[in-house]
Homo-oligomer: A and B are copies of this chain.
């Protein structure tokens, strides 16, 4: 299969279940909403050595938020409920409550799975906090130096999907990179997904475990490493390829991850010097979800 002249390999991305908490941050303008969201989702690329996977999902305008201010949805992802609860508490408490002009709303009001994150964070008020019914929601107002911080009583989470992915093969590194950036820009228009790696892009696609250094959980995916293609038996780097980037996608549902994969690939193949699209899997042995590239188009 080819799209815009670029080969789409007949393979699938293998993805995994993960717990996802979704938070709506509002603030005085887009800049400060973005600042809080960025701080709260930093150090959050992969659960291998980060305390969570996290990312900015999308910005929304004042017409679409409960308090008529500028909003941004973030997602925090963890393998365990306990871990997710702790990460929501720490990231909201340290990176959103502390950020100028923010308020925090539940980003999954329809979910039955919930943490009482707001109820826990209200203790920062040291007895001066107040419970309010406002915007049709139960909120706490916590008096602080900037004024009152408002947070909804509970935050919803869901059984989501992690590790959706595709690979972009480039004749030059900038071709693969600009295609990756274009894909990430495009995926930002899809509801319900995040691309948790730096700027949405993975430079260091990995394999599970190691051939040589057995003490590691993940090491370089040497079959896709262009600089050693002549040293590695069974290298999957085509002759004319000097760089490969991976886009990793987490999302609230498998459908959202599929849609993001489709939209991302369609953007990537418009970029000069992109020669192939593929995806990463473990032969279907590890993950619950299979996203077959050819079925997306």
Q: Which residues of A contact B (CB under 8 A)?
A: 4, 28-32, 35-36, 38-46, 48-51, 54, 61-63, 67-70, 89-91, 93-102, 123-128, 141-149, 167, 170-182, 185-186, 188-189, 197-199, 201-206, 210-213, 215-216, 218-222, 224-228, 231-232, 242-246, 263, 266-267, 270-273
Which residue from B62, B100, B197, B246 sits with its C-beta under 8 Å from A263? Answer: B62
- A-B contact sample (16 more), CB < 8 A, given A28-B178, A70-B185, A145-B245: A38-B38, A39-B42, A42-B95, A43-B91, A50-B94, A98-B203, A99-B201, A100-B180, A100-B198, A101-B173, A124-B218, A128-B225, A141-B227, A145-B224, A172-B172, A173-B175
Q: Is the CB of B178 within 8 A of A98?
A: no
Residues of B within 8 Å of A63, CB to CB, are 186, 189, 263, 266
Q: Is the CB of A62 within 8 A of B266?
A: yes
Residues of B within 8 Å of A61, CB to CB, are 185-186, 188-189, 263
Q: Is the CB of A48 within 8 A of B173?
A: no
Which residue from B145, B172, B242 sits with its C-beta under 8 Å from A204? Answer: B145
Residues of B within 8 Å of A212, CB to CB, are 126-127
Which residue from B125, B148, B172, B203 sits with its C-beta under 8 Å from A273? Answer: B172
Assembled-state Cα–Cα distance A61/B263 (Å): 10
Shortest beta-carbon contacts, A-B, top 8: A42-B42, A172-B273, A99-B198, A126-B219, A127-B212, A61-B189, A35-B199, A174-B174
Residues of B within 8 Å of A221, CB to CB, are 145
| Least CB distance, A45 to chain B, in whole angstroms | 5
Q: Is the CB of A144 within 8 A of B43?
A: no
Q: Is the CB of B201 within 8 A of A173?
A: no
